[in-house]
């Protein structure tokens, strides 16, 4: 049953969004529903993603593990790339066997978990992660009284929404928007940013619908609502980069009776902390291998630093590591000999990117607008982000800040040492280790072990049969780290439950269907057993 120590959780996950909301002080924003949420909760202006792009960031969120620790740091592992066919993709990343989606721990504690419906984890979502992972996923489909964790992903603010498609009308006045000083200020660029404001209006409407549904269901008081974005804004030098434009995200949490309405917390928060925070709030034990930390609730821990990465994104390899506290950002470029604007065809479709290349070719860019065309890159970058919000004045060679530079440099090195950094391993080597002989490994099918007085779990059931009551049925998978799903329903559209303890079978005939999955492996073949308990 839902009780105060087992609250409901609602996540509203936006895409490619910095805090361009009215509640964050943006005068152009038209976000009444997001502002309504903030009026009842707390804003976290120092919240950041672990990467400036969706899939590595989302893999960290769903596992509570840094993407560089589990091999999910290269963007788009599952896509066949027509432009560069000799790359090691496609593959599904294979984290260590103990790594799970944190939602499995919630399901094991009795929560009904739904995702509607973006995943993008760098591995195929395991069947054990969600009760419902579809466009129909909703808390309203749970059993009566069951606590829920529900995620909704309005996708309308994605970077591609800034592209001019089908001559869509723009309702935000392009003359009113303000572009960062390192981007060209042209009509085409202004229109692109105006479209982002329009798309935020659409996202805000969907936020309002979800908040209204909570009210209709009488759940608003005992549901903790989180609103966040998977990374920063989809503008050049924002998305795909560890600058604040690419990793600073909106984060709003409403928790009736526990968080002061219309409040603000300046604590540092990383998106890797979301999962551990939810587990803590729901009274579910967090495994020791999880690398995030709760930022709310009884186990709340204050951060001193957040960390961000950049590796291969689409066609082009890179490696950048960054660490930030509340005042300074340190960035290390592992390939200073590479230009900033590596070849990424998808990004080059962005109208602002097209304007940058056009004006650069015409020799019409100057000052800060040449930032992304400067060569070579500095090996180290240090910014006073408190006073230089666009990160344009590199202080790495400022002798008065030598102590700061050394502290941030050492902090980054310690983080890499403590959590591991697979950026040092070539992608070909990673895949070769994960895919022996080039083949993705497959999870072994579960087996059935009947347990009763005459057979106390000595061996598996070899075929269907009759058993005397009482009968427990234990499920086992021989693949290290595999999770098991089961159902007693028939047909295609069934609800697969997470196996956590032996099944107590009722008298009569029962058909049990099982399958197993380890993250990164192929799902097992289904195994079925028909049992008659007499």
**Angle formed at CA 50 by CA 197 and CA 99, multiple of 5 degrees:** 125
Q: Is residue 54 flagged as an active site residue?
A: yes
Distance CA 206, CA 209 (A): 5
- For 161, 310, 342, 467, 507, the CA distances from 183, given in Å and listed in that order, are 18, 21, 17, 73, 71
Closest of 118, 116, 117, 113 to residue 100, by C-alpha: 113
Which whole number is the average pLDDT over 216-223?
97
Q: pLDDT category, 3, cuts 50, 70, 90?
A: low
**114-139 residue pLDDT tens:** 999 999 999 999 999 999 999 999 99
Burial per residue of 374-394, b for 16 or more beta-carbon CB atoms within 10 angstroms, e otherwise: eeebeebbbbbbeeeebbeee
The whole-number pLDDT of residue 4 equals 61
Can the peptide bond before residue 376 be classed as cis, meaning omega within 30 degrees of 0?
Answer: yes
CB 520 within 8 A of CB 94: yes
Asked whether residue 216 carries a pLDDT value surpassing 60, the answer given is yes
β-pairing, 8-14 vs 148-152, is parallel
Which comes out higher in pLDDT, residue 457 or 249?
A: 249
- 320-424 CATH choice from 3.30.70, 1.10.8, 3.30.450, 3.30.1120: 3.30.1120
Query: Which residue among the candidates 23, 54, 113, 282 is catalytic per the annotation?
Result: 54
Domain with CATH 3.40.720.10 in the chain: 8-297
Quickly name the fold that domain 8-297 has: Alkaline Phosphatase, subunit A (3.40.720)
**Angle formed at CA 405 by CA 402 and CA 411, multiple of 5 degrees:** 140
Q: How many other C-beta atoms lie within 10 A of the C-beta of residue 197?
A: 22
Paired tokens of 189: 């660029």
| Counts of helices then strands in the chain (DSSP H, E) | 10, 23
| Phi, then psi, of 495 in degrees rounded to 5 | -100, 115
Closest of 479, 490, 533 to residue 508, by C-alpha: 533
Q: What burial class does residue 334 get, using C-beta atoms within 10 Å of its C-beta: 0-12 exposed, 13-18 middle, 19+ buried?
A: middle
- What is the sign of the dihedral through the CA atoms of 337, 340, 341 and 342? positive
Asked whether residue 294 carries a pLDDT value surpassing 50, the answer given is yes
List the CATH code of the domain at 447-533: 2.60.40.10
Cα separation of the two ends of the chain: 32
E strands, 119-264, are 132-133, 148-152, 223-229, 251-254, 263-264
The whole-number pLDDT of residue 44 equals 98
Question: What pTM does this model have?
Answer: 0.97
Distance CA 452, CA 472 (A): 7
HSE-CB at 510 with a 13 A cutoff on CA atoms is 17
Domain with CATH 3.30.1120 in the chain: 320-424
Can the peptide bond before residue 264 be classed as cis, meaning omega within 30 degrees of 0?
Answer: no
β-pairing, 223-229 vs 8-14, is parallel
- What is the sign of the dihedral through the CA atoms of 238, 239, 243 and 245? positive
- Worst-scoring range by mean pLDDT, 7-21, 281-295, 410-424, 458-472? 458-472
3-class SS of residue 57: helix
**404-444 residue pLDDT tens:** 999 999 999 999 999 999 999 999 999 999 999 999 999 99
Which whole number is the average pLDDT over 448-464?
85
Q: pLDDT category, 1, cuts 50, 70, 90?
A: very low
The whole-number pLDDT of residue 182 equals 98
Domain with CATH 2.60.40.10 in the chain: 447-533
Q: What is the DSSP letter of 80?
A: -
> How large is the C-alpha radius of gyration of the chain?
25
| Phi, then psi, of 479 in degrees rounded to 5 | -80, 125
């Amino acid at each position: 049953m839902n009780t105060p120590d087992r609250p409901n959780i609602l996540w509203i996950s936006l895409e490619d969004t910095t805090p361009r909301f009215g509640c964050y002080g943006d005068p152009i924003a038209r976000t009444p529903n997001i502002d309504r949420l903030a009026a009842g909760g707390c804003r976290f202006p120092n919240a950041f993603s672990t990467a400036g792009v969706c899939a590595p960031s989302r893999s960290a969120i769903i596992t509570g593990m840094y993407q560089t620790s589990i091999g999910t740091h290269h963007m788009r592992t599952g896509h066949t790339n027509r432009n560069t066919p000799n790359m090691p993709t496609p593959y599904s990343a294979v984290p260590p066997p103990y790594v799970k989606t944190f939602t499995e721990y919630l399901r094991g504690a009795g929560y009904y978990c739904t995702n509607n419906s973006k995943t993008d984890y760098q591995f195929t979502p395991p069947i054990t992660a969600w009760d419902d992972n579809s466009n129909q996923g909703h808390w309203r489909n749970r059993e009566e009284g069951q606590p829920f964790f529900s995620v909704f992903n309005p996708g309308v603010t994605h970077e591609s929404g800034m592209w001019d498609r089908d001559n869509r009308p723009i309702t935000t006045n392009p003359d009113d928007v303000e572009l960062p000083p390192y981007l060209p200020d042209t009509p085409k660029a202004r229109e692109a940013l105006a479209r982002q404001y329009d798309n935020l209006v659409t996202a805000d409407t969907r936020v309002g619908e979800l908040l209204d549904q909570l009210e209709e269901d009488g759940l608003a008081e005992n549901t903790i609502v989180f609103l966040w974005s998977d990374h920063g804004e989809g503008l050049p030098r924002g998305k795909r980069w560890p600058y604040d434009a690419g990793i600073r995200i909106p984060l709003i949490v409403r928790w009736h009776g526990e968080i002061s309405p219309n409040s603000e917390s300046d604590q540092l928060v990383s998106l890797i902390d979301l999962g551990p925070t939810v587990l803590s709030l729901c009274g579910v034990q967090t495994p020791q291998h999880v690398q995030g930390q709760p930022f709310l609730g009884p186990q709340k821990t204050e951060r001193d630093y957040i960390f961000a990465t950049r590796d291969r994104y689409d066609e082009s390899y890179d490696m950048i590591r960054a660490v930030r506290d509340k005042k300074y950002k340190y960035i290390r470029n592992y390939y200073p000999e590479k230009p900033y604007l590596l070849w990424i065809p998808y990004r080059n479709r962005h109208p602002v990117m097209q304007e940058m290349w056009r004006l650069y070719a015409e020799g019409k860019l100057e000052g800060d607008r040449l930032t992304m065309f400067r060569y070579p890159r500095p090996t180290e970058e240090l910014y006073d982000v408190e006073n230089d919000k666009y990160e344009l004045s590199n202080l790495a060679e400022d002798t008065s800040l030598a102590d700061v530079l050394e502290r941030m440099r050492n902090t980054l090195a310690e983080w890499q040492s403590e959590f591991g950094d697979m950026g040092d391993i070539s992608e070909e080597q990673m895949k070769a280790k994960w895919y022996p002989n080039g083949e993705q490994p497959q999870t072994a099918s579960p087996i059935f072990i009947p347990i009763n007085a005459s057979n106390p779990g000595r061996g598996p059931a070899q075929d269907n049969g009759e058993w005397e009551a009482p009968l427990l049925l234990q499920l086992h998978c021989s693949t290290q780290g595999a999770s098991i799903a089961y159902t007693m329903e028939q047909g295609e559209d069934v609800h697969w439950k997470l196996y956590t303890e032996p099944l107590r079978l009722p008298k009569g005939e029962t058909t049990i269907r099982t399958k197993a999955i380890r993250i990164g492996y192929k799902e097992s073949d289904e195994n079925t057993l028909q049992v008659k308990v007499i």
